[in-house]
A and B are shown apart, each in its own frame.
Chain A
Amino acid sequence: MDKVVEACTRVEGCGNLTIYLKNDEIYQTELNFSVYRGFENILVGKKLLDIPKIVSRICGLCSASQTIASCKAIENMYGIEPSNQSILFRRILLSGELIKSHIMHYFFQSFPDLLKIFKIKTTINDPYNLINYNPHLTTNVFNLIKIGSEISKLIGGRALHPITPFPGGLIYNPNRKSLISMEKYLQKGIYYIETIIENFIDLFSAFDPPTEFNLSNPIYFGLKNNMGFDRYEGNLRIEQNETTYNDFQAKNYSKYFDKDPNLYGITFKSNSKNEILTGPIARYKLTQNYGIDKIYEYLSNFGKKWKSNLLFINFLQLIESYYEIQKSVEILNTASLKSKTKLKQLNSIKKSNGIGVIEAPRGILMHHYHLNKTKSVDQVKLFIATEINLPILNKMITEYAKKLYEKEDIDSVKEKVQIMIRAFDPCISCASH
């Protein structure tokens, strides 16, 4: 048996592509992480109020998601809900983070691949070429990243590893000036994201996406709120197809999936042979309707072939950015936001188990903490989107690599399989918590 290992480029974090060969045939291909950090172990014995700040450091792209999932788990133990205003600000903070995370991935990591796949431009292999490919697009991309950062800074107190989300709410005193400046940023953002979406449609919608990237009936996993697209509140749903699904509350998760904190990987208790998928495509399948006419129009540029293809993630990243900008503007325009947000009091712990779940940019993120009799944290389970998606990713890259290797050499296989890995937008920092 031979093993070929290649470090992945243009992915978030340090990952390796490993290809196993037997008798000069590929039989297995995997994305591996070069590091495990052991956050589940670090959190044991920590004070509850200390945990959100520590888990933030799991990921430099979705730190607000980590922090807020953690706050929700702790609030679950205390049996409290933050004020409506705190929740609204948490939502805008999560939107700021999503915009930045999605746009960075789209532009730096996926866009050069899309240009290559559809043979529009095959020579972009460094960031200097990329930013000069379409300067107008580049400007819009950087403007959106800046908007994401500014929103995160205004509400989170810092652009990354936010300070303000706290069990009981969010420490933030909005003043007129910061609310106005937030709205101005977001209003401009609508124009920037529209331009990027239209550019995507112009460049790629006329093509059929490569069939190797087709998703073969994955089981979609995400938050389901009957009110519409929601990344903050809802039940969990595991959906095999539109008529076969399970909706359940997060507290009952172990009936459907679980993990051993000392072992790696999440196990789904399902009879189906199909793999689980979480993230933008699952959110799209579970929601169907975003409730915004313009999004409906944008989506109508793509047929069934695109909508069951992995590469559709890239378009949905743009659609979600657009949706969240619009929703944030709506919150700022309609909610009566008071100058002081009060944190809820943390009086007494009601439950020894606390579960907090949200949809991070890459999919379901769930924290589960357990307290022992002396009310100290003795067990932590972190369920992270990239870990959830790893089996389907490995299955798809194995099939793809096998097919490629029939006609191409191993270097070409390595290069092309990485395109598929990047299309999944794995967050290796998160997954290697």
Chain B
Amino acid sequence: MKLKFLITSLTSCTGCISTLISLDIFPQFLERAKIEYFPFISDNLEIKECDVALIEGCVSEKNQIEYLQEIRKNAKKLYALGTCSAFGGILSLSNKKESYPISKFVEVDGIIPGCPPPPTLLGNCLLRLVENKKIELSLKNMCSTCPLNNHEKLDTPLTIEKIVPRNDEIRFPEENLSCFLNEGILCLGPVTRDGCDHLCIKQGLPCEGCLGPVSKGFTSNLINFLSLFNLSKDLRKYKGIFYRFSKSHVGGKN
């Protein structure tokens, strides 16, 4: 029996869905699953009962809540596909527009995080979902497998002055690049879930945190993390470093 899938977007860039279509296993997925609803590539607009719903994008409009609830009623399992859906995403940077993770409005059975989700992670999740299995995510942070040297020895308290290295400072891990934090460059690796294969770090740039937190207590993790640093005055005023992909649910501007 093929499982029935519903795949759709709320407020998004469609990047998670285009990543999904670009997967090596996508043709195999189309053979092994029954697509009930997938407006990006299919004409059906009727929401019917399905086994798995994958939702891309955040909730930014009122009418999306009803749509989402309708899908929840019809779906045995519902997953947040990508960081917008899981945490609110890039629109968290806006001060004019509200953006919420879908879990604010419906019960969620799991998340596939990332901006976009790393293809290997997404492919593995999709194959497990087709087989009616639960998806598994790493429970470690980025530092636990970081390719850079000396990442475990932070000389605290650190002074963080920059969000990216200067152009002439950009180096690659093979050039003996050391932990960004020790260099005074903000890296969100310590509070970000492992699973992207350190793509930014391998290009000589710090982690922006697009995979989101390992555990639900992101804000408390972040507070502990921040207690290790002195942020420069400039960065203290700068909006959207820590909550680039998810809005803070406690007070505070950032």
Contact = CB atoms under 8 A, between A and B. Distances in A.
Interface of A: 7-14, 34-38, 41-42, 45-47, 49-50, 53-54, 57-61, 63, 100, 104, 108-109, 125-128, 130-131, 138, 142, 145-146, 148-149, 157-161, 163-164, 166-168, 171-173, 343-346, 429
A160 B22 CA distance: 10
Interface in B161-188: 163-164, 166-168, 170, 172
Contacts of B240: 46
Given A13-B14, A127-B38, A344 B167 contact: yes
Contacts of B166: 346
B112 interface: no
A139 B167 CA distance: 42
A37 B203 contact: no
B22 A149 contact: yes
Interface string B83-94: 000000111011
Contacts of A11: 40
A159 B94 contact: no
Contacts of B163: 47, 49-50
B123 interface: no
A60 B116 contact: yes
Contacts, number: 158
Given A59-B15, A157-B203, 17 more contacts: A7-B45, A10-B43, A37-B91, A38-B96, A49-B163, A57-B115, A60-B14, A100-B22, A125-B44, A128-B30, A145-B21, A145-B22, A157-B199, A163-B200, A166-B167, A171-B204, A173-B172
Give 4 closest A-B pairs by Cβ, nearest first: A60-B15, A60-B13, A60-B14, A343-B167
B199 A163 contact: yes
B42 interface: yes
Contact of B43 (A9, A13, A57): A9
Contacts of B13: 57-60, 63, 429
Given A109-B41, A146-B22, A127 B12 contact: no
Given A160-B15, A160-B18, A35 B168 contact: no
A160 B21 contact: no
Determine the interface band of chain B, counting residues with CB < 8 A from chain A. 35 or more
Contacts of A35: 11, 60-61
A45 B93 CA distance: 11
A346 B169 CA distance: 12
26 contacts: A9-B45, A10-B39, A10-B41, A12-B14, A12-B40, A14-B9, A42-B90, A57-B15, A57-B115, A60-B12, A61-B15, A61-B18, A108-B41, A109-B41, A126-B35, A127-B30, A128-B30, A142-B26, A145-B22, A158-B199, A166-B167, A167-B167, A343-B168, A343-B170, A345-B168, A429-B12
A396 B116 CA distance: 35
The B interface is mostly helix, strand or loop, or mixed, namely: loop
Given A157-B200, A161-B15, A344-B167, A131 B21 contact: no
A126 B13 CA distance: 23
B24 interface: yes
Interface string B52-91: 0000000011010000000000000000000000000111
B144 to A, nearest CB: 21
A45 B18 contact: no
Given A38-B97, A142-B27, A125 B21 contact: no
B40 A108 contact: yes
B77 to A, nearest CB: 21
B205 to A, nearest CB: 6
Contacts of B115: 57, 161
B248 interface: no
A207 B15 CA distance: 36
Interface in B197-226: 199-200, 202-205, 208
A60 B19 contact: yes
A53 B45 CA distance: 34
A134 to B, nearest CB: 13
A161 B84 CA distance: 14
B43 to A, nearest CB: 5
Contacts of B44: 9, 125-126
Contacts of B172: 173
